[in-house]
Amino acid sequence: MNLTAARNALRSASRVAVLTGAGVSAESGIPTFRDAQTGHWARFRPEDLASPDAYERDPEMVWAWYAGRYQDVLRAQPNAAHHLLTQLEQRKRAGFFLATQNVDGLHHRAGSGTHGGQLVELHGNLISGRDEVTGEIFPLPAPEVLATPPSSPRGHRMRPNVVWFGEFLPEAALTAAQDAFATADVALVIGTSGAVYPAAGLALETLQRGGTVIEVNPTESDLSAYMTFAVRDVATRGLAALLEQEA
C-alpha cells in the first residue's frame, strides 16, 4: 500500500481510531519513561518507583520523582503532531477516537477531545492525583506550591494518577478504546513500540474486522509486521504527510 492509498483511506474513513505512545511527545522534549532516569534517579529502575509496593514502602520518594516529571510536562508544549491530530478530529468529529499511552496531558492541551471526538488516557496523567480513600481525581497544585505527598480536597492523601506496574488499565477507558478500534475504518498507531499490552492489541481489533491500520514510527515496532501501511518518520512529519490532502 502506497502513501497515496493510505491518505485516501484516511480521508474516506468515517471512523478513525488513534493510538499514541511516547514518540508523539518526544518532539516536545518529554523523555520516555526510562529516559527520565537521570541524575539522582539514575540509580533507580522505573519499576522501583512506579509500583504499588514502592509507594507503600516510601511514598515521599515516589512523589519526589513524580513531582519532577510533573514539572517537566508542564514546561513542555504540544507539538505539530498533537495539533494535527486535533485537526483530524475537527474533520471526523464523532467518528474520531484517540487513546494515548502518554501521561503528559499534551493531547488535551492541544484540544483533543473537544471537537466532537473522544480522548482517553489509558495510563492516567501526571497533572492530577487520586484520592487514596475515595478514588476521586483532582488536579495537582502548581509545582511551586506542591507539597508531597499532596492531600485531596477531602483531606486524604493522594497518589499519582498513573497506572503502575502490576495494575490494570482503567476499565472504562480500555473498554471504550476496544470498542472504538473494533469499529474503526482506519486505525493510526503513532510513536509506540507496540510492546505494552493490552494497548498494543488495539490495532489488531481493527485488522480482524477488515479495517486499515497505518503505523507512523521512525523504526519498526513489534506491530509493524501486521500493519497495512507504515510511514517511517517521526510523528510530526509522518502525520503531516498522511494529512497533506485532508484539508
**Do the Cβ atoms of 129 and 161 come closer than 8 Å?**
yes
In the beta sheet, which residues pair with residue 20? Answer: 100, 190
Confidence of residue 152 (pLDDT cuts 50, 70, 90): very high
Q: Is 40 a catalytic residue?
A: no
Q: What is the CATH number of the domain that holds 156?
A: 3.30.1600.10
Q: What is the CATH number of the domain that holds 218?
A: 3.40.50.1220
Confidence of residue 247 (pLDDT cuts 50, 70, 90): very low
Q: Where are the beta strands (DSSP E) in 144-231?
A: 158-162, 186-190, 212-216, 229-231
Q: Is residue 191 included in any domain, yes or no? A: yes
Q: Is residue 62 included in any domain, yes or no? A: yes
pTM: 0.94
| Confidence at residue 44, expressed as pLDDT on a 0 to 100 scale | 86
Burial of 226 (0-12, 13-18, 19+ CB in 10 A): middle
Out of 82, 107, 108, 123, the active site residue is 123
Do 47 and 65 have their domain in common? Answer: yes
Q: Any residues with CB less than 8 A from the CB of 38 and at least 6 apart, and which? A: 31
Task: Classify the C-alpha dihedral 66-70-72-76 as positive or negative.
Answer: positive
Q: What is the pLDDT of residues 73-104, one digit of tens each?
A: 999 999 999 999 999 999 999 999 999 999 99
Q: Look up the domain containing 203 and give its range.
A: 3-29+78-123+169-242
| Confidence at residue 221, expressed as pLDDT on a 0 to 100 scale | 93
Chain centroid to Cα 186, Å, comes to 18
Average pLDDT over residues 126-141: 98
Do 24 and 90 have their domain in common? Answer: yes
- Specify the number of domains making up the chain: 2
Q: What is the pLDDT of residues 41-65, one digit of tens each?
A: 777 888 789 999 999 999 999 999 9
